[in-house]
Structure 1
Amino acid sequence: MELYVLGDISAEEKLQVEDMATQYPEIRAEITEIERSMEFYAEEHAIEPPADLRQRVLGSLLVNLGDDRIFTKAVTHQDDDHVRSLPPARVNSFYKYAFAACLTLLLISVYGLINLYSKLQDSNTQLTALQTDKIRIANQVNLMDRQLNMYRDTTYKVLRLKGMPKTPTAAMILAWNSVSKKVMVDVQSMNLPKHDNKHQYQLWALVGGKPVDMGVFDKPAADTAGVKEMKAIASAQGFAVTLEPMGGSINPTMDQMVVIGQF
């Protein structure tokens, strides 16, 4: 019934209450009592608005134009009439500072990752260079071991080839193994004249007074170490080197002989 008096029910429910109030006087009396109680409560707690505020509101309704700033000011200063203004809303800046802190940490992290990646790249480059040097040194050590084995192995015959009259300073050391038939040239001690890119040196074995092709080679760099293996041969009385066109010749060019040596 309180909802009926307040008008907070549907039209169908309102008809039902009115029909029951018509049939039962006690319900009508209860409704009347509720209405009186509510009117009494409203009168007891009613707040009389200031005269200037009432006049301004009425004037605004007539002309459909109100001054919001004066209206707000009038409401704010009516302390005696129990009218209180709401405090301004405080903007919570926690999220703003939190976002700024997170963004700063993110930038620091990105910078750290970039710096770490750069250091890793440098480390990888240095590691690659070290591995390359390690392989190069290992190859040099292997060649030097072969060179030392060539001189220590008693099955090798070491032959020193000397320069011809036109190349008196030329010299080369060669070792031939009569068991394995290997022929090794000492590259490090080789001292041969320089040649152009259209020619190569060719090694010949002297077998029964006839030259036998043992392969071609180029003048090595000054800092080259180790030995170079040439073609194998079962027997030889000596060896010689001539300067031939690129790729070698079938027969040696005698006037281009650089060094020769015999056992």
Structure 2
Amino acid sequence: MDIQSYIASGKLELFVLGELSDREREEVIALSKKHPEIKRELEEIEDAMFAFDDKSGVKPPEAVKGKIFDSLSKDLEEGEEKIASSRPAAKQVVLQPWKQFAVASSIVAFLAILAAVYFAVQYYDVEERFTALLEERNVLSQELDVNQARYHELDQQFETLLSGDYERVPMLGDSFELQKDARVDVFWDKGSQNVLVSVNELALLDEHQDYQLWAIGDDGPVGIGIVKPGEKLTLQQMEAAASAGAFAITIEPKGGSKSPTLENLVVIGEVV
């Protein structure tokens, strides 16, 4: 028999606490008489129980401790007699009240620790989610402010379109190899000479280039502003155009040119 494995099984602790069945108690008693290691372990377990109770503040009188040791010795002797006579054991060591309180207090303390850990985790989880919601709310609030400003600007621009006598001049890139899918609309009020541009599709350029709008009239092409390809669904204000038979956009060096680079012609549209 592997004595150390038996000692490590936990049966000896249950024996001291009075939690074994009669048959198991008889087995422990018999083995303790046969193996000094088991008997010595039983005594050490009993001492450990008393030491635990001393630390927890519940210390039984010395007389009670003596009675418990006497009871354990008596159990060993009675167990030997019962095994010899083959009669079932009828005596069971009852867990002493001070032991019950010690075990109960340990369980309560353990459950309290588990509860504290659980609620701490829940608290930090809720705090993190609340912080994330606040950050998301701030982002949405900023986006709302930007959208409201954009809406207000568009509203003013469309009000300008409706209040004036604007002619729409669509400019397409179908005829040019540079950007066949380019689409830009020019809105021109001949009376006020006001020009607005709406970008539907224009490829982005590198940082050294710009799109430049030209009003082509009797005096040739005149540059009337830089067109921003990223500003879609809005009306970009250009310089005034006194006369124009057509409008065109070319790609020019950053800041624009005095005359158009014809090989970089992107879109053109005739005024009807």
TM-score where L is the length of structure 2: 0.47
- Point out the structure with the larger helix share: 2
TM-score where L is the length of structure 1: 0.49
Structure index of larger Rg: 1
